[in-house]
Amino acid sequence: MVHDSHYYDGAWQASTVSDAIDVISSATEQVVGRVPRGTAEDVDRAVKAARRGFEAWSQVSVEERAQWLEKLAAAMKTRVPQVAEAISHEVGTALSYSTKVQVEFPVMMIGLNGRFIRSAKLEDELGHSLVIKEPIGVVGCITPWNYPLHQVVCKMAPALAAGCTVVLKPAELAPLSAFMLAEAAHEVSLPAGVLNIVSGPGRVVGEAIVGHPDVDMVSFTGSLAAGRRVGALAGDGIKKVCLELGGKSAFIVLDDAPFEKAVAAGVNNCMQNSGQTCSAWTRMLVPRARHDEVAELAAAQLAKLTLGDPFDPATRLGPLASAAQRDTVLDYIETGKREGATLVAGGGRPAHLGTGYFVEPTIFADVAPGMTIAREEIFGPVLSIVPCDTEADAVRIANDSIYGLAGGVWAGTKERAMEVARRMRTGQVDINGGRFNILAPFGGYKKSGIGREIGPLALEEFFQLKAIQQ
């Protein structure tokens, strides 16, 4: 999986330097691919192509843009096995999960944005004014490694549907799916300048995109620290930003909940993608009187989640994406032990898996709300069980976070769960086993970000409003 060129202006373009980035398999620690290391000059060329492309693409009819997205989705559908394999190498995601969640879901989402733009209301009369939604322009997209294709699509698809053009920097750790997307775009002859991709490090390529004067908007997903940097650079240029940052989501299990079902759901949610999920429920808030029972139930559920080779059909949890991420997670586990949390399961590197960036899925009990593992985003397979005295105490602890991305509630009745969910300061809440909804907006309160992705409302991020008085 070697790519020696960037993709912009409708063609494969040689990089301005000969350096390359090796893509490492998280399971084997071997090189499985290579992409070019871009420069600010590469970005400038790609942005200029996007600006030229915008002049034509913004005038293309809604129906034609929708049809282009459907063509792109169809071309990506034929690549599902190859993309899933690449992501399982890059991220460590078990192949079955990679196929369904990492690839099939975002491929479907590309086509759905065609449906969303067809039904969008782009003009409205308010008094004697005609208010028009127009595409914002050239959008710089900077995406993370944990859900590499999904996060690209969350930005690219609604941007293109709205009539914008895109300059994309995929994650250094997991860039291969973005290049497969470029191959699909080239195959269907997507117009030149509509989708442009330059790979490289964030400090070089990412900052060049954010700071470029011809980039009108930046959509970024990543860490809080990187989001601050993006926001500061974009602010200098008075650019609109959409930021999807970190999370430390709480799952509240109330005293009348069906505990076996609720705890199992909470463990599964926390551990999906080996914990490398920004919206994962990493804090399980439970009645103090049932705390020990919850710890036993959680450990029993965790034992069902087989850790191993992501390409083994029996595997539920694979390795982490890099040695650095593995070491970061292990440091957090040691901090949890040192600060006095009770280790229930896991806690280190698995002895039977000597190769790969593996960490045992880990559960801590007796976690106090002020402990580091209860406050900071770990981004690995670590669950903290936090005892609470009352329902009000649970809501207070859930909201006592700099983040507000997601969360869950399980109660004996839908009505009680709904009442608690309304009091949580977070962008999404699942109640009593509610499933992910592709139509619902995704994004956070507080330092979890600005703006929303996914579903028809995501289109709104990519419009400017113009009022014409009649």
Catalytic residue among 244, 360, 377, 391: 244
DSSP secondary structure code for residue 43 in this structure = H
Complete DSSP assignment for 297-343? HHHHHHTTS-BS-TTSTT-SB---S-HHHHHHHHHHHHHHHHTTPEE
Rounded (10°) angle between helices 391-399 and 414-422: 40
Could you give the count of Cα atoms lying within 13 Å of 76 in the half-sphere of its Cβ?
A: 30
Residue 412's φ and ψ, nearest 5 degrees, are: -70, -25
Complete DSSP assignment for 384-403? EEEEESSHHHHHHHHH-SSE
Could you give the count of Cα atoms lying within 13 Å of 33 in the half-sphere of its Cβ?
A: 25
d(CA 405, CA 398) in angstroms, rounded, equals 11
Residue type, 68: W
For the question of residue 278 being annotated catalytic, the response is yes
d(CA 73, CA 122) in angstroms, rounded, equals 24
d(CA 154, CA 141) in angstroms, rounded, equals 10
Closest to 244 in 3D by CA, of 449, 41, 459: 449
Integer-rounded Cα radius of gyration of the chain? 22
Catalytic residue among 154, 270, 278, 388: 278
The residues carrying an active-site annotation are 244, 278
